[in-house]
Homo-oligomer: A and B are copies of this chain.
Amino acid sequence: MSNRDRMMHLGMFYFTSGHHRAGWRHPDAHTGGPFHVPTLQQTVRTLERAKFDFVFLADFLVSGYHSSNIVMLEPLTLLSNLAAVTERIGLVATASTTYDEPYRLARAMASLDHLSGGRAGWNVVTSSHRDSAKNFGKDEHMDHALRYERAREFVKVAKGLWDSWEDDAFPMDQASGVFVDTTKRHVLDHKGEHFSVAGPLNIARSPQGYPVIVQAGSSEPGQELGAELAEVIFTAQDNIAEARAFYAAIKGRLGKNGRKDNDMLVMPGVLPIIGGTESEARGKLEQLQALVDADTAVDLTGLSGLIGADLSAYPLDGPLPELPETGVIKSRSKLLRDIAKRNDFTIRQLNQFITVSRGHFVAIGSPEQVADKLEQWFLERGADGFNVMPPHMPGGLDDFAEQVVPLLQKRGLFRTEYGGSTLRDHLGLARPANRHAASASGESVSSQQSVDS
């Protein structure tokens, strides 16, 4: 596909107080906290006015990264609420395959897709934080490889359940008294390594067939899983060389899965800091850095979690020690270790560094400079779009929506109106046919046939 045919895609990775650790202390920050529903609703309306593809909600089965997201609303309930006050914006919920059941989650995701008229996405995660286990009756977090095996089977079962009913299974014909055409009902009867699920799911096939599958693991098994089933890859790279290498590598894995380049969109996170000039933007970052309070500035819990090793015993002004990592996002740990090495960071400097974007790409400068960077990453195949991470809210989003989006639109890189109504429409992804339908293409059926009995 030539660049002429490509359009950039934009999601927003929504932390209610923004992604900079001190975002909540910004002088213009909203003061409602993470549970002030009118603020949340207003935010997604801003995204919709700016024609974003989706809002993306992370999820934690423990407390979040920052003091300002140590508590938060649960994604599926929140997005179901936001669906009622929006019409077009996609709604992507993170949900874990390690601590949930396919029947329950497949049903809730399909429900969100119905409630939103086809705007649901599912960010499939295996839960990186080992303490999650202790909230779900387990002493130990499941092994990394085993988590990915379980994830693969979980998604297969979910897809099988989403095909329980053909799209036209419910004639609801009042005159003849035929509500349901039971010939279009299909029992899954899955029996696998991790799950036994009979089905059928007790919800009709949803507008998108399946919600859009998003995936964020960039480790080796994460990339394998992503190349197999993800339609959007949310990734973290801090420079264009790494981004291009990752982009090429993960797209290169598609062919062996019978998938084409544009069956998957690669969308790295980007934290934009926008000023009238570059130096004004740098001043804004300094202002935020100054608001990182003394306690959290030397609190190594967050950094230890991201690195996957307890750093509390090491001198703050010494180098990052070479410790084995365990029970974290492997790819994020590697990214931060590489950054520390490349920049010769002390522990204190690395900790200061992660307060900004936790390793994600930081685009700083005038609106033109930020747009230039995004355009470059996009045209040079480092990204098909971006998951925008405003440093503070609502100002960090408003700056981007009002100053950068119009530039991207003027350059013909980003839509000026929604062309369709579902998240699949926005992303240019096909609606999967039901494997059981007479009209289903051979390809969709064969790629799924192992799920079904």
Q: Which residues of A contact B (CB under 8 A)?
A: 22, 24-25, 29, 31, 33-35, 37, 41, 60-64, 67-68, 70-74, 76-78, 80-85, 99-101, 103-104, 107-108, 110-112, 114-115, 117, 131, 134-138, 165, 170, 172, 174, 177-180, 195-200, 202-204, 291, 293-296
Contact = CB atoms under 8 A, between A and B. Distances in A.
Contact of A71 (B117, B170, B197): B170
Given A63-B202, A101-B99, A135-B198, A81 B78 contact: no
Nearest to A134: B198
Nearest to A26: B174
16 contacts: A24-B174, A25-B174, A25-B177, A37-B84, A37-B117, A63-B200, A67-B179, A70-B179, A71-B204, A77-B77, A77-B80, A77-B112, A100-B104, A103-B135, A131-B198, A177-B291
A343 to B, nearest CB: 27
Contacts of A296: 177
A227 to B, nearest CB: 28
Nearest to A295: B177
B114 A73 contact: yes
Nearest to A203: B71
Contact of A107 (B70, B74, B293): B74
A202 B25 contact: no
A29 B117 CA distance: 22
Given A73-B114, A177-B294, 14 more contacts: A24-B174, A41-B84, A70-B179, A72-B202, A74-B111, A74-B203, A76-B76, A77-B80, A77-B115, A80-B81, A84-B84, A101-B136, A103-B136, A178-B293
B71 A108 contact: no
Contact of A78 (B22, B80, B85, B202): B80
Q: Rank and list the top 4 A-B pairs by shortest CB-CB distance, nearest first.
A: A177-B293, A84-B84, A134-B198, A74-B111
Nearest to A68: B179
Q: Is the interface of A mostly helix, strand, loop or mixed?
A: loop
A188 B288 CA distance: 35
A204 B68 CA distance: 12
Contact of A137 (B70, B197, B199): B197
Nearest to A85: B84
Contact of A115 (B60, B78, B117, B291): B78
A170 B33 contact: yes
A294 B176 CA distance: 10
A67 to B, nearest CB: 4
A107 B293 CA distance: 29
Contacts of A117: 37
B77 A202 contact: no
Contact of A203 (B72, B107, B200): B72
B179 A24 contact: yes
A82 B180 CA distance: 26
B73 A197 contact: no
A77 B196 CA distance: 25
Nearest to A61: B103
Contacts of A196: 134, 137-138
Contacts of A112: 77
Given A77-B80, A195-B137, A198-B135, A172 B31 contact: yes
A269 to B, nearest CB: 21
A416 B202 CA distance: 38
A76 B81 CA distance: 10
Contacts of A33: 170, 172, 204
A33 B110 CA distance: 16
Contacts of A72: 202-203
Contacts of A197: 134-137
